[in-house]
Structure 1
């Protein structure tokens, strides 16, 4: 039996040949930057003792905010580093799913949604601090939406 175009529906059309090199590079760049900055902050702050934190990190992190006691400031810094570490894990997981889907089915737009989610998690999880990193994920998601599939399909 044939469909309205005269083609046999049992013979599946081969997937379109498309490469998503730019999207993969942007995802890798965003994941690498997130690893360096979010992971680096979490690693450094979690390894500091309270005296080192007070001397090195507190002046940079809190500036002239003297209303917090040293113990409260140390706890706030540790909480922020834990939040960044969780954000990093979520961003890397979402980016890994996007890369896996991009490599297996590059003609689909679903990896773009995973990249968009990685960008949102990076942006909100870093409390808007890591917006330059989230930009790479948003740019990759935008390329998934904007770049056409060569066979004319809209999927």
Structure 2
């Protein structure tokens, strides 16, 4: 019989990983997307067709030229519905990412949730909220680039 020599294991405690920067960037992105996308949705849901045409919001949105009041209201209501869906999708993706990060912060794959939230924010807002989506992309990038412990990032 051959005796197996015991292996020496380093008694180095694993470094506690904190993903505060990534989480805060995601929370900031969630708050800003809720304010802008949810705010537009909330404002549009308070209007009816008559008050929409009286307020001149269709002209402010660039829908007034060559478009009737009813058509402008329908277009703005459709955009409002799309923004409402987008804000819900962004919030769900970001919350899943935050919960997964808080559970196991050392895993880098949780950054994909924030990248998906940024992509949903960017495409769902029709490229209007690119600065807000940038916060989600930076958060995802920090997951990829920040070392988990004292070793190299590879």
Confirm or deny a common fold (TM above 0.5). yes
CA drift of 1:6 comes to 2.6
Change in 2 beyond 3 A, CA 1:134/1:91 = same
Task: Give the alignment of 1:77-88 within 5 angstroms.
Answer: 77-88=76-87
Q: In structure 1, what is the Cα distance between the partners aligned to 2:123 and 2:48?
A: 28
Change in 2 beyond 3 A, CA 1:144/1:35 = same
Moved over 4 A (4+): 13-16
* Residues matched between the structures, number: 146
Change in 2 beyond 3 A, CA 1:18/1:73 = same
The Cα RMSD (Å) is 2.1
Task: Give the alignment of 1:101-120 within 5 angstroms.
Answer: 101-120=100-119
What CA deviation, in whole Å up to 9, does each residue of 1:117-146 have, x standing for no partner? 000000000100111110110010011111
Name the TM-score, length of structure 1 as normaliser. Answer: 0.86
Specify the alignment match of 1:61 in structure 2: 61
What CA deviation, in whole Å up to 9, does each residue of 1:47-103 have, x standing for no partner? 10112212331121116x422111110000000000000000000000000100110
Task: Give the alignment of 1:4-153 within 5 angstroms.
Answer: 6=7, 16-56=15-55, 57-62=57-62, 65-152=64-151
Tell me, yes or no, if the aligned pair for 1:33 and 1:133 is still in contact at 8 Å.
yes
Change in 2 beyond 3 A, CA 1:106/1:58 = same
Tell me, yes or no, if the aligned pair for 1:16 and 1:150 is still in contact at 8 Å.
yes
Q: In structure 1, what is the Cα distance between the partners aligned to 2:110 and 2:50?
A: 45
Tell me, yes or no, if the aligned pair for 2:146 and 2:153 is still in contact at 8 Å.
no
Structure 1 portions without partners, runs of 5+: none
